């Protein structure tokens, strides 16, 4: 199996970690309620996905 020739520098390690973090934070406003939601995920605020109600969210908040 291939073994890395050199230790990854702190900078390179951080770059890799933060690239993942960026992907998690990538969000768009929900078309229904405007809250930030992850793309290709059901909106956690109103429970809709592509204009369809998929989750029943209790209104008493």
Count the Cβ atoms, other than its own, within 10 Å of residue 8.
11
Query: Least distance from C-beta 46 to Zn ion, angstroms?
Result: 3
Report the residue from 32, 38, 42, 49 that binds Zn ion according to the rule CB under 5 A.
32
26 or 33, CB closer to Zn ion? 33
Query: Least distance from C-beta 43 to Zn ion, angstroms?
Result: 3
Query: Least distance from C-beta 34 to Zn ion, angstroms?
Result: 7
Tell me the CA distances in angstroms from 2 to 5, 6, 16, one per residue in order.
9, 12, 20
């Amino acid at each position: 199996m291939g073994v890395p020739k050199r230790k990854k520098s702190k900078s390179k390690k951080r770059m890799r970690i933060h690239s993942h973090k960026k992907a998690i934070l990538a969000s768009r406003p929900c078309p229904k309620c405007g809250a930030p939601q992850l793309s290709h995920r059901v909106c956690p605020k109103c429970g809709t996905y592509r204009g369809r109600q998929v989750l029943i969210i209790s209104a008493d908040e």
